[in-house]
């Protein structure tokens, strides 16, 4: 097992090869996230890296008074390793041929995951955690990872959605370059899943419809095996996407939207989906599109 003792730029990421990265915290939800990530790693023929981090901020979750004592840190380390071992055992039972690495770091969990995401094809977190170090996967920390990771980030939501192996890939589009990156990723996923792609243009602005249609047509030529349904909705993006992904395998959104104002707006859409979508949410990272494309199919 790798141990990261410093994140101050002295050490490179301990896992140099492309991989799928997932944060675990000992909760059942994080095990489900690990299994979802394992399925993605196996499909891409990449290793899976299970990671957990701990620092003295985790004390409230343990019920212990840290006092910076040796016993406290030993207990914290042991609980963290136990969580990694439990997730690794579940993954190995379901995917016995998958290469699995484990990383523990003395760091705030979100910072560790962002550090390790430098060489990740995808970083995966669960939507919430319930046990020790639950802040790895709880709302604000998941949003830190979504906002600062170097790779696309999948937030695995919903007990049913996390294990779903059928259903369409849903993507939000608005005609922007960043939306085009999310659309390409969604086409790649739909092709690999052999699933329908549902492209949702919500709050439909007629001036953007032609751009969206052209983007879809270009990718249809590249991915002729993918069946595409375009949905134009006058509802807000959050409402429209949640409605369309009720039976989806995954929903894909860009990390920012059209211009500075729309960028903040689509940020709110991502946040809404992370808290309310009934399926995993993949927040695409535009500068990582080529990396994920190389391993997605």
| Integer CA distances (angstroms), 188 to 61, 197, 256, in order | 39, 10, 20
| Torsion of the alpha carbons at 182, 188, 193 and 198, rounded to the nearest 10 | 40
Pick from 260, 232, 224, 126: which is nearest to 172 by CA? 232
Q: What is the pLDDT of residue 45?
A: 94
Residue 43 pLDDT level (bands cut at 50, 70, 90): very high
Percentage above 90 pLDDT, the chain: 39
Q: What is the pLDDT of residue 7?
A: 53
pTM, rounded to two decimals = 0.82
Collapsing DSSP states into helix, strand and coil, what is residue 26? coil
Residue 222 has pLDDT above 90, yes or no: yes
Express each pLDDT in 52-85 by its tens digit: 887 655 544 545 555 556 777 777 778 888 889 9
Which strands, in side-by-side order, build the sheet including 228-233? 2-4, 100-105, 48-53, 19-23, 120-126, 153-156, 281-283, 250-253, 169-172, 197-202, 228-233
Q: How far apart are CA 142 and CA 109, in angstroms?
A: 10
Express each pLDDT in 86-142 by its tens digit: 999 999 999 999 999 999 888 888 889 988 998 899 999 987 543 434 434 445 667
Express each pLDDT in 143-167 by its tens digit: 788 888 889 999 998 665 567 788 9
């Amino acid at each position: 097992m790798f141990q990261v003792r410093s994140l101050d730029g002295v050490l490179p990421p301990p896992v140099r090869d492309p991989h799928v990265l997932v944060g675990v915290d000992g909760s059942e939800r994080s095990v489900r996230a690990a299994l979802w990530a394992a399925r993605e790693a196996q499909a891409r023929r990449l290793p899976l890296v299970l990671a957990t981090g701990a620092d003295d901020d985790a004390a409230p979750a343990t019920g212990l008074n840290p006092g910076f004592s040796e016993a406290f840190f030993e207990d914290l380390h042991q609980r963290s390793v136990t969580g990694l071992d439990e997730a690794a055992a579940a993954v190995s039972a379901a995917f016995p041929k998958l290469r699995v690495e484990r990383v523990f770091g003395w760091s705030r969990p979100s910072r560790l995951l962002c550090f390790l995401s430098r060489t990740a094809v995808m970083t995966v977190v669960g939507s919430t955690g319930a046990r020790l170090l639950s802040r790895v996967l709880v709302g604000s920390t998941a949003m830190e990872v979504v906002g600062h990771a170097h790779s696309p980030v999948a937030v695995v939501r919903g007990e049913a959605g996390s294990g779903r192996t059928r259903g369409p890939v849903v993507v939000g589009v608005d005609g922007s370059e960043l939306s085009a990156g999310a659309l390409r990723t969604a086409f790649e996923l739909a092709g690999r899943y052999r699933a329908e792609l549902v492209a949702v243009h919500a709050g439909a602005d007629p001036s953007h419809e032609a751009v969206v249609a052209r983007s879809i047509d270009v990718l249809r030529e590249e991915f002729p095996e993918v069946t595409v349904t375009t949905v134009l909705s006058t509802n807000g993006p959050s409402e429209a996407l949640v409605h369309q992904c009720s039976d989806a395998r995954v929903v894909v959104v860009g990390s920012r939207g059209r211009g500075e104002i729309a960028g903040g707006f689509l940020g709110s859409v991502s946040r809404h989906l992370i808290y309310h979508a009934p399926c995993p949410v993949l927040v695409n990272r535009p500068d990582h599109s080529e990396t994920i494309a190389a391993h997605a199919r």
